[in-house]
Amino acid sequence: MRILGIDPGYAIVGYGVLDFSHGNFNVVDFGAITTKAGMNFQSRLKAIYLDMCEIVETYKPDEMGIEKLFFNTNEKTAIDVAQARGVTMLPAIMHGIPIYEYTPLQVKCSIVGYGRAEKKQVQEMTRTMLGLKSIIKPDDTADAVAIAITHGLSVNTRKIMGKTGGQL
């Protein structure tokens, strides 16, 4: 199964593409979609959408995992990130790719086994699990790859338990 992991945003959208088979992950690609700070917000959304279309069409993922948004302070930022998240998901939706959401707590528990793990712990464990020489940068890309791993492990667990669910 090919998994596309996404860490949504409007300045940086991290992505990671992993192949998952028989409990093993293979890195296909990872990176970040970036938009310039001075760009008109609508132009940012368009750039994210077009880049996501290219990623989906190039890598043809079977499923997508995306970070579930949680904000408790800045409403404007939350709304902007939510809009960017929708634009990020649209190419997958248009291609019929199932989308699953994961909270940061779920990702930390999946990768490190501890919900209050530090970002560095998650990055180091991600590096180790994938056999990489160094941790993935930027942080948004590392988070996206961790989300892809979390999805693969979650799918594996659901298969073992004979359950479905979690899809948007």
Domain ranges of the chain: 2-161
Asked if residue 114 lies in contact with residue 133, where contact means CB atoms within 8 angstroms, the answer is: no
Per-residue pLDDT band for 69 (boundaries 50, 70, 90) equals confident
- Active centre residues (catalytic): 7, 67, 140
95-128 per-position pLDDT tens digit: 999 999 999 999 999 999 998 899 999 999 999 9
CA angle 78, 11, 81 (to 5 degrees): 20
Distance, CA of 168 to CA of 71 (rounded, Å): 19
Distance, CA of 44 to CA of 55 (rounded, Å): 16
The pair of structure tokens assigned to 89 is 């998901």
CATH topology of domain 2-161: Nucleotidyltransferase; domain 5 (3.30.420)
Nearest CA-CA partner of 144 in 3, 5, 4, 1:
5
* Reported pTM: 0.92
